[in-house]
Amino acid sequence: MVRVRVLIMSRLSNSSGVPTLCYVTDRSSLPGVQTAGATAALRCRVAAAAAAGVDWIQIREKNLSGGDCVLLTREALQLAASATASDATPTRILVNDRLDVALSEGAGGVHLGEKSLPIQEAKRLVDARGHQKDFLIGASCHFLRSAESAANGGADYLFFGPVFATPSKAAYGPPQGLDRLREVCRAVSIPVVAIGGVTLENAASCWKFPLSSRYCANWRLDQRSINRRSSRICPAW
């Protein structure tokens, strides 16, 4: 599982200097949870993340059916709305890959992989539906060229990595490292979220150059650790 900070658009400008925290779901990684109970456990994590003030929650459950993804997204939106104070900005729910689900359920955006629907086509479909301008389209990138292409194609933000070594990103080869992350941040004008092996201990190294967004990761989070890590990241900003 995962977490991140970025500033949400209009709102995607980082003028306040405050990073945005984003929690990326993965029910298969929940410790001690059998498959039958994983979705229920995930709902608890989503509620806890929203209550802790996490800004974005990305629903990333690749093996769910379309119908189950709709139900999970709908429940996440309801949980986020109920957990948000009346004077606070609601936690934004993003849906991984499934633009159809994001649009039908009124989510805050969609996150596209490098093999997903092309960004320009996604933007066309969003515009055709007359969706709000605040709907975000993000893209995962693992190379400078793909980051530039996504930015030129109209992405609102990027995930770039893995920056550090992490088992969850081993399929993408050796980590990109901070130098490549710096190159991407300098090459594009949209927010960049550093992903992969970023922890509370090494996150500060990603903040030494102009990142529009920050990423912290921990695949084993209970409610207390969500609250604790959220409180440790946010006051520093």
Q: Can you give the pLDDT at residue 207?
A: 67
Task: Assign domain 2-236 to a CATH class.
Answer: alpha beta
Whether 61 contacts 26, CB under 8 Å: yes
Taking the C-alpha atoms of residue 19 and residue 236, their distance in angstroms, rounded to an integer, is 10
Instruction: Say if CB 134 and CB 108 are below 8 A apart.
Output: yes
What angle in degrees, to the nearest 10, is found between the helix axes of 66-83 and 35-51? Answer: 30
Alpha carbons 34 and 38: distance in angstroms, whole number: 6
Please give the torsion angle defined by the CA atoms of residues 83, 219, 169 and 13, in that order, rounded to the nearest 10 degrees. Answer: 30
CA distance 175 to 206: 14
Q: How many Cβ atoms are within 10 Å of 223's Cβ, its own excluded?
A: 14
Return the beta strands (E) in the chain as ranges: 2-6, 22-24, 56-59, 92-96, 109-112, 136-141, 157-160, 192-194, 213-217
**CA–CA separation, 187 and 108 (whole Å):** 26
117-133 residue pLDDT tens:
999 999 999 999 886 67
Q: Which of 231, 229, 22 shows the shortest CA–CA distance to 138? A: 22
145-177 pLDDT per residue, tens: 999 999 999 999 998 888 888 887 777 678 998
Residue 222 to residue 225: CA distance in whole angstroms: 5
pLDDT tens track, the chain, 237 positions: 333 333 222 234 444 556 667 788 888 777 656 666 777 888 888 998 888 888 889 999 988 999 999 999 999 999 999 886 666 678 999 999 999 999 999 999 999 998 899 999 999 999 998 866 789 999 999 899 999 999 999 999 998 888 888 887 777 678 998 999 889 988 998 888 888 887 777 777 776 655 544 444 433 344 444 555 455 444 444
Q: What pLDDT is recorded for position 40?
A: 83
User: How is the beta sheet containing 109-112 ordered, strand by strand?
Assistant: 22-24, 56-59, 92-96, 109-112, 136-141, 157-160, 192-194
pLDDT at 152: 95
Could you give the CA distance from residue 48 to residue 68 in angstroms, rounded to a whole number? Answer: 21
Q: Give pTM, 2 decimals.
A: 0.82
Identify whether 118 is preceded by a cis peptide bond (ω within 30 of 0).
no
Using DSSP's 3-state secondary structure scheme, residue 96 falls into strand
DSSP codes joined into one string, 7-64: --BSB---TT----BEEE--GGG-TT--HHHHHHHHHHHHHHHHHTT-SEEEE--TTS
